[in-house]
């Protein structure tokens, strides 16, 4: 059986924690690997608490955010890497797309997860989606053999945004994270610059757990995370 390799790419360093920490922990617990990439630290637009400290600097905020995200990833058993491209706005150039594509070729992910394509309240999230979609196509040679190193086509999903109805998000996959939920909570607790989101995403996991129970009839499911597939999954039989 092929080893599962999950790559999660967020616009900011905390995005993976709120929206996919459970599935990261789930895959690693089942014997797979997971790597998290943050295109920026969210140092300008998502670190309000840190900027309340007198004499705060952007470089210090980045350092704190890096330490928080690395600690969160460690709770899950994942690798963490930051591109440090700046936020609000997140500006991604061709070299940055090439860098992500090269990372994909090296890591060979079987599953790639990022933000949805639409977000009317956050300018950085759609940029992250476009970056990942382009890098993924470059990595697979746009579906054909090519003259550069490639990786096999991966599953491609987006994680649940903060306001799903306004982002064109329709959940097509629920992942049961009940037995790794404590790890997700520990990861969320590391993101001290955004403590206000911890209760929201604990409640969201409970809501999606309820939906997953309705779908499956499995009363043991207490918490879940929601994702939307962007390409079909292929199975031998229904």
Residue boundaries of the structural domains of the chain: 5-229
Which has more confidence, 151 or 78? 78
Which element (helix H / strand E) includes 181?
helix 181-190
Angle at 27 between CA 22 and CA 30, to 5 degrees: 125
Instruction: State mean pLDDT over 182-197.
Output: 95
Q: For residue 65, what are the contacts with CB-CB under 8 A and spacing of at least 6?
A: 13, 14, 41, 42, 43, 47, 50, 193
Instruction: State mean pLDDT over 36-47.
Output: 97
Instruction: State mean pLDDT over 46-57.
Output: 95
Provide the whole-model pTM. Answer: 0.96
Instruction: State mean pLDDT over 153-180.
Output: 97
Task: Average the pLDDT over each of 15-19, 133-137, 144-148, 193-197 and give the range with the smallest value.
Answer: 144-148
Q: Which two tokens stand for residue 73?
A: 């990833």
Q: Look at residue 209 in the predicted model and tell me its pLDDT.
A: 98
Q: How far is CA 29 from the centre of its chain?
A: 17
Taking every pair of Cα atoms in the chain, the longest distance, rounded to a whole number of angstroms, is: 61
Confidence at 229, pLDDT banded by 50, 70, 90: very high
Task: Average the pLDDT over each of 57-66, 131-140, 145-154, 221-230 and give the range with the smallest value.
Answer: 145-154
What CATH number labels 5-229? 3.40.50.10320
Confidence at 147, pLDDT banded by 50, 70, 90: low
Q: What are phi and psi of 83, to 5 degrees?
A: -90, -25
Q: Look at residue 227 in the predicted model and tell me its pLDDT.
A: 98
Instruction: State mean pLDDT over 211-235.
Output: 97
């Amino acid at each position: 059986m092929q080893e599962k390799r999950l790559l999660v790419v967020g616009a900011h360093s905390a995005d993976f924690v709120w929206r996919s920490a459970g599935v990261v922990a789930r895959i690693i617990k089942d014997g797979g690997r997971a790597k998290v990439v943050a295109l920026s630290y969210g140092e300008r637009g998502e670190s309000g608490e840190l900027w309340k400290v007198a004499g705060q600097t952007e470089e210090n905020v980045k350092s704190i955010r890096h330490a928080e995200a690395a600690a969160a990833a460690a709770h899950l058993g994942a690798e963490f890497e930051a591109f440090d491209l700046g936020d609000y706005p997140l500006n991604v150039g061709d070299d940055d797309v090439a860098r992500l594509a090269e990372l994909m070729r090296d890591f060979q992910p079987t599953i790639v997860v990022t933000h949805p394509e639409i977000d009317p309240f956050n300018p950085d999230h759609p940029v992250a989606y476009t970056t990942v979609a382009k890098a993924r196509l470059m990595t697979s040679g746009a579906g054909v053999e090519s003259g550069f190193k490639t990786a096999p086509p991966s599953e491609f999903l987006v994680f649940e945004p903060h306001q799903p109805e306004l982002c064109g998000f329709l959940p097509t996959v629920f992942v049961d994270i009940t037995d790794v939920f404590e790890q997700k909570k520990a990861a969320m607790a590391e993101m001290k610059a955004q403590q206000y989101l911890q209760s929201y995403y604990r409640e969201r996991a409970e809501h999606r757990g309820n939906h997953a129970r309705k779908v499956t009839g499995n009363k043991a499911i207490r918490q879940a995370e929601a994702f939307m597939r962007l390409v079909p999954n292929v199975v031998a039989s229904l």
